[in-house]
Chains A and B, each alone.
Chain A
């Protein structure tokens, strides 16, 4: 009995993973490479041939490239600041962590309240006499404003998750290391770059992988702020599945997102590799 017990305990979760993770992902792969019951690359050709594909692809990549580094810096700043506090730490951490529980759709709506035509940004500019009447920020003429609004909403929403992982990671670093560096005359900045950051690598790895994946899946924020004016990969997947009723092309899009996710996870793992013996 004792020998079978662990397997019995793992059985439900394993079966579930098999049925709802491995099998469906297999189905997506098959779906993307078949058309009308035969193996073909027609779905991919159709996807690449569509004018929206490259826009959606580069929009997603640019969003990720802008948002993730900003968030990394913000999260590191927040975490280091909180570390230094003596009182009010838990209250502050709760406030910083609030966006963690907020849906991407809700985040999109929150920033819509700011950017829409009768919104708070317009009221603010009006109050200071910059404009006479409200500007239509989120129209197709102002694509870059939509892009900016999406960036802000994403930064607002998802910095918390990186911050939480980094704070927890900093908590694991023994204080003695920093103190030793201080004894040897290291400045605050040197201690941060030479002691904290290298020891933080496992947490940075997790935070970056989770966050980059979320960035490739960006969807509801964009829909809430720009409808379909700013195409992104996940939004196009949704469009092909629903509006255009072409599951093959939707699956091809899914493969692109999947490929990007796996590739970037591997890059992060490689860049921030921590040798086994060097872990704390």
Chain B
């Protein structure tokens, strides 16, 4: 009997200690993710003399000189604009080719279906940025070298497998009965798709389009290999790394991170459907 009376408060203590540890762990992990980004932002929002100065403070002086320096640096605005164009084109290409394939995989049974699916999944076992090496030669022959379209084609190749698998799982989540109902009411297959399936799948498709955009926006290796004059922002930053001053690097880094933060926030509801389930 006496055991119980001693044990009850002790158990409560253990439970409380456990909860405390759990909370502390969570806080630590959140800090681990956020603090490095914060430090980059501090650097980007401080004057160049503070960026190279020592010791550093943990709060930015909100001096926009670094940002202005970055913005006015030779080639930066052009590189930014190239990045946007390539990413937009990648988005259109990968969804334009991926969504029909995803729809076909969901709604039809046909010989060769499994083969196609395996082929798409197999691309994952290959280091895709390496494709830039042979394509660099191919593009010189066809006149696509150092062009927005050429790079967008390579980035579309990076994003296509995801686009196919993501749209596949999106369309699988829409009951075929809805479409069949539309057919019996006199819709053609195309009309049923546009009026019934598309509105339901649109948010998910938009999310995967955003994801294709981010893949292209972030890609470094292929961009650096395939562009010389028309560099994207990543290629520009990479190739001027050993000559550019620190404020330029950090402002450039911030320029890369900011859109990514917004995009990930925009598609946060779909992150798990896209990465987790579509990827299996």
Q: A residues within 8 Å of B by Cβ?
A: 3, 5-7, 9-10, 12-14, 16-17, 20-21, 24-25, 27-28, 31, 74, 77-78, 81, 84, 90, 92-106, 109-114, 116-120, 122-123, 126-127, 133-134, 156, 161, 164-169, 171-172, 202-203, 206, 209-210, 213, 216-217, 219-220, 223-224, 227, 234, 237-238, 241-242, 247, 250-251, 254, 257-258, 261-262, 265
The interface residues of chain A lying within 8 Å CB-to-CB of B37 are: 98, 110
Closest Cβ neighbor of B29 among chain A residues: A78
Q: For residue A131, give the distance in angstroms from its CB to the closest CB of chain B.
A: 10
Residue of B57, B123, B127, B271 with highest tally of chain A CB at under 10 A:
B127
The interface residues of chain B lying within 8 Å CB-to-CB of A171 are: 272, 276
B16 at the interface (CB under 8 A from A): no
Residue pair A12, B100 in contact (C-beta under 8 Å): yes
A250–B129 Cα distance when bound, in Å, is 13
Q: What would 9 more interface pairs be, CB under 8 Å, given A168-B273, A169-B276, A265-B125?
A: A5-B104, A9-B101, A16-B157, A21-B157, A106-B40, A110-B253, A122-B54, A238-B224, A262-B126
A216–B124 Cα distance when bound, in Å, is 13
The residue that A167 contacts in the complex, of B26, B218, B272, with Cβ under 8 A, is: B272
A13–B22 Cα distance when bound, in Å, is 47
Which 5 A/B pairs are nearest by Cβ-Cβ distance? A168-B276, A109-B253, A103-B218, A27-B134, A101-B260
B80 at the interface (CB under 8 A from A): no
**30 A/B residue pairs, CB under 8 Å, sorted by A:** A6-B107, A7-B104, A9-B104, A10-B101, A10-B104, A12-B100, A13-B98, A14-B101, A16-B157, A20-B135, A21-B157, A28-B133, A95-B33, A100-B275, A105-B237, A109-B40, A109-B256, A110-B36, A114-B39, A118-B246, A126-B54, A164-B276, A206-B279, A210-B279, A217-B221, A219-B129, A219-B221, A237-B133, A251-B134, A261-B126
A24-B138, A213-B125 as given contacts; A95 in contact with B133, CB under 8 Å? no
Q: For residue A213, give the distance in angstroms from its CB to the closest CB of chain B.
A: 6
Closest Cβ neighbor of B154 among chain A residues: A20
Residue pair B36, A17 in contact (C-beta under 8 Å): no
Q: For residue A194, give the distance in angstroms from its CB to the closest CB of chain B.
A: 21
Q: Mark B218-256, 1 if CB is under 8 A from A, else 0.
A: 111100110000000010011001100010011011001
The interface residues of chain A lying within 8 Å CB-to-CB of B123 are: 17, 21
The residue that B108 contacts in the complex, of A5, A219, A250, with Cβ under 8 A, is: A5
Residue pair B55, A123 in contact (C-beta under 8 Å): yes
The interface residues of chain B lying within 8 Å CB-to-CB of A251 are: 133-134
A168-B273, A237-B130 as given contacts; A109 in contact with B250, CB under 8 Å? yes
A216–B108 Cα distance when bound, in Å, is 37
The interface residues of chain B lying within 8 Å CB-to-CB of A106 are: 40, 218, 253, 256-257, 260
B7-15, B70-78, B195-203, B261-269 - interface stretch: B261-269
Residue pair B127, A213 in contact (C-beta under 8 Å): yes
Q: For residue B56, give the distance in angstroms from its CB to the closest CB of chain A.
A: 4
Q: For residue B277, give the distance in angstroms from its CB to the closest CB of chain A.
A: 5
Please classify the interface of chain B as helix (H, G, I), strand (E, B), loop, or mixed, using the class held by over half of its residues.
helix
Residue pair A241, B101 in contact (C-beta under 8 Å): no
Residue pair B264, A247 in contact (C-beta under 8 Å): no
Residue pair A92, B218 in contact (C-beta under 8 Å): no
A254–B52 Cα distance when bound, in Å, is 38
Residue pair B127, A216 in contact (C-beta under 8 Å): yes
The residue that B130 contacts in the complex, of A13, A28, A104, with Cβ under 8 A, is: A28
Residue pair B131, A20 in contact (C-beta under 8 Å): yes
Work out how many contacts link A and B, with CB atoms closer than 8 A.
271
A105–B238 Cα distance when bound, in Å, is 8
Q: B residues within 8 Å of A by Cβ?
A: 22, 25-26, 29-30, 32-34, 36-37, 39-40, 42-43, 51-58, 96-98, 100-101, 103-104, 107-108, 110, 112-113, 116, 119-120, 123-131, 133-138, 153-154, 156-157, 160, 164, 189, 214, 217-221, 224-225, 234, 237-238, 241-242, 246, 249-250, 252-253, 256-257, 260-261, 263-265, 268, 271-273, 275-277, 279-280
Residue pair A118, B56 in contact (C-beta under 8 Å): yes
Residue pair A96, B33 in contact (C-beta under 8 Å): yes
Q: For residue B266, give the distance in angstroms from its CB to the closest CB of chain A.
A: 10
Residue pair B36, A156 in contact (C-beta under 8 Å): yes
Q: For residue A96, give the distance in angstroms from its CB to the closest CB of chain B.
A: 6
Q: For residue B101, give the distance in angstroms from its CB to the closest CB of chain A.
A: 4
Closest Cβ neighbor of A152 among chain B residues: B36
Residue pair A6, B108 in contact (C-beta under 8 Å): yes
A169–B138 Cα distance when bound, in Å, is 41
The interface residues of chain A lying within 8 Å CB-to-CB of B252 are: 109
A110-B36, A171-B276 as given contacts; A234 in contact with B221, CB under 8 Å? yes
Q: For residue B27, give the distance in angstroms from its CB to the closest CB of chain A.
A: 11
Residue pair B39, A113 in contact (C-beta under 8 Å): yes
Residue pair B125, A13 in contact (C-beta under 8 Å): no
A98-B264, A206-B280 as given contacts; A21 in contact with B131, CB under 8 Å? yes
A17-B119, A112-B249, A227-B241 as given contacts; A242 in contact with B264, CB under 8 Å? no
Residue pair B271, A100 in contact (C-beta under 8 Å): yes
